[in-house]
Amino acid sequence: MQGYLPYILCVGLFSIGLYAIAVKKNLIKIIIGTVLMHHSTNLFLVLVGFRNPESGSPLAPVKPAPHEQISQAEFLARSVDPVPQALMLTSIVIGLSITALIVVIAIRLHEKYGTYDLTKIRKLRG
Amino acid sequence: MENMLPLFVVIPLGAAFVIPVLGLFRLEKAWDVVAVVATLALLAMSVIMLAGESVVVTWIGGYDPQTTGLTGIPLVSDGLSRLILLVVNGIAAAATIYSMSYIKQYTKTHLYYVLLLLMVAGMNGIVLSGDLFNIYVFVEITAIASFALVGYTLRKDALEATFKYLVLSGVATSFVLLGIALVYKETGTLNLAQIAGAVEGAEMGKTLWLAFGLILGGFSLKAAMVPFHAWLPDAHPSAPAPISAMLSGVMIKASGVYVLARIAFNVLGASYATGVLLMALGSISMLVGVLLAVGQWDFKRLLAYHSISQMGYVVLALGVGLEMMARGSTTIAYVAVFAGLFHLMNHALFKSLLFLCSGSAVYRTGSRFLKKIQGIAGPMPVTGFCTRIASLSISGVPPFNGFFSKLLITIVVVWAGHWALGLVTIAASFLTLVSFTKVQRYLVEGELAEEYATIKESPYPMIVPMVVLALLCATVGVLVPVYKDVLLGPASEVLVGGFDYTSAIFGG
């Protein structure tokens, strides 16, 4: 059970973000919701790559320095999976650009309407 | 030949970086030329690809599993990719030529071309990529460029539509990424062909079903299937007309339906459950989209609702194909997939044409409301003529292209034994006809308002792509027997082949 706890927390964070997007009427709160969703997914990617080795502590997936005296076999047994970490870096960059864009749009909307309240901005219908 | 695949992404990206530099020196003609040359080159390349080998695989960075033992990220061009590439780059070329005149009403047009080319690069990347995470990255590149383009006019409604589109699209891609993480956890790979191998070999566990559910759900939102359609009728009409043509004509296909089809057919294989899922999504979208469209008076919004409905046809046909594959009737499956892809291509042609026509009307009159711009076919005969051809095509009147694909879809749905769904397709087709009769009644036949008595026809760069698309609408339906062995046949074989995709990539 304890092994699943990080995953459950992660999905919980994701759900909070989804809740904020679905229910909140304030643009800023909706933006916070999207950011929460994105970062919980990033967290999930890191968790997917995590491995708890049978002996010793987990290692970062970078080539060990010569003075650390770790054999290749031991390194392979103890290091975590590098692929999800690479994916997560890419996804953080994408998330950043989307957040920047969405904040700019929110500022522009505020310039036009003078409010962040979505109920007062509704010009488009169904 | 093999080295051509990366160029589909490199050329538009390169052009997108050259144009801002030209913008620094205010070389206005030069950036028009660069954008048009880049998209025309892409179109020529996608035509050349048709003559090449059936499957071309390029391993980025040279990580070919057969020579190095390491599996890199492949770019794959098979029949399906080639069809979508041709559609994407063809419409992109038309939209870019059209933009040369249309976009002059706005300022800083070089930035517009940058975003347009980024969108093309993203879509070409999605279609060629053979790696799940790579597809996600290209989907995001396409999406970010399209967000900025939807809000390009900075009008109140455009900004609001952009916000809605951004948030919903962000939700969709978060779901997709979560799904990708789960797929990686379960199968240990992101390569589509290897995932397919893992799915084929063993019974699929609950986690894997959840993962693919998340991924298919996310891409259904990108394809604007009902009930995930709320963003499309706001976002597509708010963009400048050539961008609306790109969004409705190709983007929902490349980043929505194409990925759905690729994953459902080539990764999950012939599965009854996904077939029924796609059939349900398709038929609901078809009916709801057209019902919402009938009451619209805003020309571009009406067209956007019809996009939902027409994509419903495509997804329904693909769903029937999948179901028939699961039941073992390969012939019906082949015809269903063929009909779906045929309609996808036809929809790209006539929906882009309709959006370009609406742009031409907006360019001269400044209004999108059918009652206000009625009768503009008088002073603008070419726009009126093209609108008429496109309306007849989308409502399925013979001998235009929409008729043949809709007929084929209806026949194959009934052939597969789904009488009720056959009736739904006919009902949706009838409502489409009703809705476009209204468009013709006002836009072409109506009485011209006095304030527009002096308007002229749009300039040539706008008319030429419209006329070319109209000619294609009138001919591709009749000429199917001529080109089906080059274009639609191989594409359908790739989808019906299911898990053959894996062996095609790894050469085994």
Find, among B307, B218, B267, B274, the residue nearest to B500 by Cα.
Answer: B267
Q: What is the pLDDT of residues B231-265, one digit of tens each?
A: 999 999 999 999 999 999 999 999 999 999 999 99
Q: B150 in a domain, yes or no?
A: no
DSSP B76: E
DSSP B440: I
Residue pair B416/B323 in contact (Cβ under 8 Å)? The answer is yes
Q: Is B294 on the interface with A (CB under 8 A)?
A: no
Q: B245 in a domain, yes or no?
A: no
Quote the minimal CA–CA distance from B321 to chain A in Å: 32
Strands B74-77 and B56-59: antiparallel
Residue pair B328/B214 in contact (Cβ under 8 Å)? The answer is no
Residues of A in contact with B129 (CB under 8 A): none
In chain B, the residue whose alpha carbon lies closest to the alpha carbon of A119 is B160
Q: B331 in a domain, yes or no?
A: yes
- B159·A105 Cβ contact <8 A: yes
Find, among B224, B223, B208, B221, the residue nearest to B271 by Cα.
Answer: B208
Residues of B in contact with A18 (CB under 8 A): 171
Instruction: Evaluate if residue B214 carries a pLDDT over 50.
Output: yes
Q: B122 in a domain, yes or no?
A: no
Domains contained in chain B, number: 1
Find, among B154, B302, B323, the residue nearest to B240 by Cα.
Answer: B154
Can you give the pLDDT at residue B433?
A: 94
Residue pair A49/A83 in contact (Cβ under 8 Å)? The answer is yes
Instruction: Evaluate if residue B184 carries a pLDDT over 90.
Output: yes
Residue B54: which pLDDT band, with cuts at 50, 70 and 90? confident
Instruction: Evaluate if residue B441 carries a pLDDT over 90.
Output: no
Q: Is B149 on the interface with A (CB under 8 A)?
A: no
Instruction: Evaluate if residue B79 carries a pLDDT over 80.
Output: yes
First to last CA, chain A: 44
Can you give the pLDDT at residue A126?
A: 40
Can you give the pLDDT at residue B1?
A: 53
CA distances from A57 to A6, A62, A69, B228 (A): 18, 15, 15, 45
Instruction: Evaluate if residue B45 carries a pLDDT over 50.
Output: yes
The single residue listed with the structure tokens 């390029």 is B58
- Those residues whose C-beta lies under 8 Å from the C-beta of residue A79, and which sit 6 or more positions away, are A51, A58, A59, A60, A61
Q: B229 in a domain, yes or no?
A: no
Give the pTM.
0.94
Q: What is the pLDDT of residues A18-75, one digit of tens each?
A: 999 999 989 999 999 999 999 999 999 999 888 887 777 888 888 777 777 778 788 8
Q: What is the pLDDT of residues B397-440, one digit of tens each?
A: 988 999 999 999 999 999 999 999 999 999 999 999 999 999 88
Choose from A41, A42, A103 for mutation: most chain B CBs within 10 A: A41
The single residue listed with the structure tokens 């991924």 is B215
Give the type of residue at B255. S
Residues of A in contact with B159 (CB under 8 A): 105, 108-109, 112
Can you give the pLDDT at residue A1?
A: 57
Residues of B in contact with A113 (CB under 8 A): 156
SS3 at position B172: helix
Q: What is the average per-residue pLDDT within B372-390?
A: 89
Range B117-145 burial, b when 16+ CB lie within 10 A, else e: bbbbbbbbbbbbbbbbbbbbbbbbbbbbb
Instruction: Evaluate if residue B70 carries a pLDDT over 90.
Output: no
Query: What count of other Cβ atoms lies within 10 Å of the Cβ of residue A87?
Result: 23
SS3 at position B51: coil
For residue A37, give the nearest of B161, B174, B182 by CB distance.
B174
For residue B393, the enclosing domain spans: 271-477
- Those residues whose C-beta lies under 8 Å from the C-beta of residue A124, and which sit 6 or more positions away, are B157, B160, B161, B164, B234
Q: What is the pLDDT of residues B265-315, one digit of tens each?
A: 999 988 899 999 999 999 999 999 999 999 889 999 999 999 999 999 999
- B160·A84 Cβ contact <8 A: no
Q: B239 in a domain, yes or no?
A: no
Write out residues 218-247 of B within 8 Å (CB-CB) of A: 230, 233-234
Q: B91 in a domain, yes or no?
A: no
Token pair belonging to A60:
């970062």
Token pair belonging to B129:
């990529």
Report H helices in B223-329. 232-238, 241-246, 252, 258-261, 272-294, 299-327
Taking the C-alpha atoms of residue B498 and residue B508, their distance in angstroms, rounded to an integer, is 15
Can you give the pLDDT at residue B106?
A: 87
Choose from A13, A98, A109 for mutation: most chain B CBs within 10 A: A98
Note the Cα B449 to chain centre separation in Å: 35
Quote the minimal CA–CA distance from A39 to chain B in Å: 9
Q: What is the average per-residue pLDDT within B152-161?
A: 89
Instruction: Evaluate if residue B374 carries a pLDDT over 90.
Output: no
Largest CA-CA distance found in chain B, in angstroms, rounded? 73
